[in-house]
């Protein structure tokens, strides 16, 4: 069976009740490719609001979750709390949290294990800095990030991998289709060798990093690109065009 195309919209720390309502109204009324799985990720404060507004068939992801159950962890959010409010996915390992908040590979892996054990789907981010790419370390860095998760997780059936080169996030720079496909193919080969052939065949690998309606069509044609994790463009009406990239 072909892998179902997947498009996630990461709002990051953007939005208000009014703007999120506008985004969701546009999605609810749009003609979306029925073969694409769509997940949006507003800030934590608006997760329940988004879930209440969003039509059935479209899902909501948190931008973070803690690796401990409910307890004395000020400012954090638990898997149980997310599930209690109808949230089915979580984004983990995003470079902004790795870099700005110093989340290391082991912590990301621990959170991934906890989220999966609690029944959430995980959009697992990985990617290299410009310095690492220029040093020829892209594959080494990405595989190290994924390897930390593989050390704690055996079942990858509810993991979607998002390859996001840090140098392309929010910069307007985009990896060429050849660059993106090369890393995606390497990730799939790594899955085959370090997890299982089943994981390699079934795990969806998304591209993220300044994805727009203008470049999504060409990227979507690549054999190992199974969708996108979209940042700024998910706040705009053109997000619909990205969702429909395969049929545009």
Check whether 40 has a pLDDT greater than 90. yes
Query: Under a CB-based contact definition with an 8 Å cutoff, are residues 23 and 50 in contact?
Result: no
* pLDDT-based confidence at residue 34 (cuts at 50, 70, 90): very high
pTM over 0.85: yes
For 146-178, the pLDDT digits (tens) are: 999 999 999 999 999 999 999 887 777 778 899
> Distance between CA 84 and CA 112 in Å, rounded?
18
Question: Which structure tokens are listed for 123?
Answer: 């959009």
> Distance between CA 23 and CA 234 in Å, rounded?
8
Q: At the top level of CATH, which class does the domain 5-243 belong to?
A: alpha beta
Annotated catalytic residues are 94, 164
> Distance between CA 248 and CA 4 in Å, rounded?
17
> Distance between CA 184 and CA 224 in Å, rounded?
6
Question: Which structure tokens are listed for 170?
Answer: 């929010």
> Distance between CA 127 and CA 165 in Å, rounded?
5
Query: Under a CB-based contact definition with an 8 Å cutoff, are residues 87 and 142 in contact?
Result: no
Instruction: Count CB atoms within 10 A of the CB of residue 53.
Output: 17
* pLDDT of 78: 98
């Amino acid at each position: 069976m072909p892998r179902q195309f997947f498009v996630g919209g990461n709002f990051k720390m953007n939005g208000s009740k009014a703007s999120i309502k506008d985004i969701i109204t546009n999605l609810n009324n749009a003609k979306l490719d029925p073969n694409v799985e769509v997940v949006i990720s507003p800030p934590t404060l608006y997760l329940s609001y988004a879930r209440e507004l969003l039509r059935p068939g479209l899902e909501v992801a948190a931008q973070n979750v803690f690796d401990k159950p409910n307890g004395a962890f000020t400012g954090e959010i638990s898997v149980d709390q997310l599930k209690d409010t109808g949230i089915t996915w979580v984004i983990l390992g995003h470079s902004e949290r790795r870099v700005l908040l110093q989340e290391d590979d082991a912590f990301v892996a621990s959170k991934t294990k906890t989220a999966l054990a609690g029944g959430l789907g995980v959009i697992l981010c990985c990617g290299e800095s410009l310095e690492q790419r220029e040093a020829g370390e892209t594959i080494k860095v990405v595989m190290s990030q994924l390897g930390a998760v593989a050390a704690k997780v055996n079942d990858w059936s509810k993991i979607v991998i998002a390859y996001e080169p840090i140098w392309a996030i929010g910069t307007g720079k985009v990896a060429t289709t050849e660059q993106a496909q090369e890393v995606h193919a390497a990730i799939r080969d790594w899955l085959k060798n370090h997890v299982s052939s089943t994981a390699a065949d079934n795990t969806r690998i998304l591209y993220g990093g300044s994805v727009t309606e203008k470049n999504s069509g060409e990227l979507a044609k690549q054999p190992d690109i199974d969708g996108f994790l979209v940042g700024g463009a998910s706040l705009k009406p053109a997000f619909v065009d990205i969702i429909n990239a395969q049929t545009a």
